[in-house]
């Protein structure tokens, strides 16, 4: 079996963005639950925040493929 330590590193690096995405959608859901008519206003904001938090995970994916030797 072959492996690469950067795979473990990428796994660790996804924890931060995962928590961030969870927090963003938790805030979005509770916002809509309190004020359902604010949904069209909140939805693009939530997806924008999700995309920005996800960017960190994407950087990690790139660094996983960068050969270090």
Partner 1 sequence: MSMAAALGGLATLSTASGDSFETPTPAIFYLPIIGEGDWAITEQMFWGGVSVLLLSLVMVRLSAKAAVVPTKGQWMMEGFYNFARNGIARDMIGSKDFLRFVPLLFTLFALILLNNLFGILPPVMNPTTGRIGFPIAFTVVVYVVYHWVGISRKGLGGYLAGLVPPGLPGWIKGPIWVLEFITFFITRPLTLALRLFGNMFAGHMLIVLFVSAGAYFLTQGIVFQLLSVPTFIMAAAMVLFEGLVQFLQAYVFTLLAASYIAGAVADDH
Q: For residues 9, 10, 12 and 13, what is the CA-based torsion angle, rounded to 10 degrees?
A: 120
* Contact by Cβ (8 Å): 53, 24: yes
1 touching partner 1, by CB under 8 A: yes
List 7, 26, 29, 48, residue binding partner 1 (CB under 8 A): 48
Q: Shortest CA distance to 61 belongs to which of 23, 6, 21?
A: 6
Size of the site for partner 1 (CB under 8 A): 17
Binding mask 8-47 for partner 1 (x = CB under 8 A): --------------------------------x---x--x
The Cα-based distances of 35 to 16, 23, 32, 39 in angstroms read 29, 18, 5, 8
Residue 63 within binding range of partner 1, rule CB under 8 A? no
Residue numbers at the binding site for partner 1 (CB under 8 A): 1, 3, 40, 44, 47-48, 50-52, 54-55, 57-59, 61-62, 65
């Amino acid at each position: 079996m072959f492996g690469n330590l950067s795979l473990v590193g990428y796994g660790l690096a996804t924890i931060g963005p995962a928590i961030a995405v969870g927090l963003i959608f938790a805030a979005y859901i509770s916002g809509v639950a309190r004020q359902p008519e604010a949904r069209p206003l909140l939805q693009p904001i939530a997806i924008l925040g999700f995309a920005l938090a996800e960017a960190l995970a994407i950087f990690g994916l790139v660094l996983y493929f960068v050969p270090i030797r």
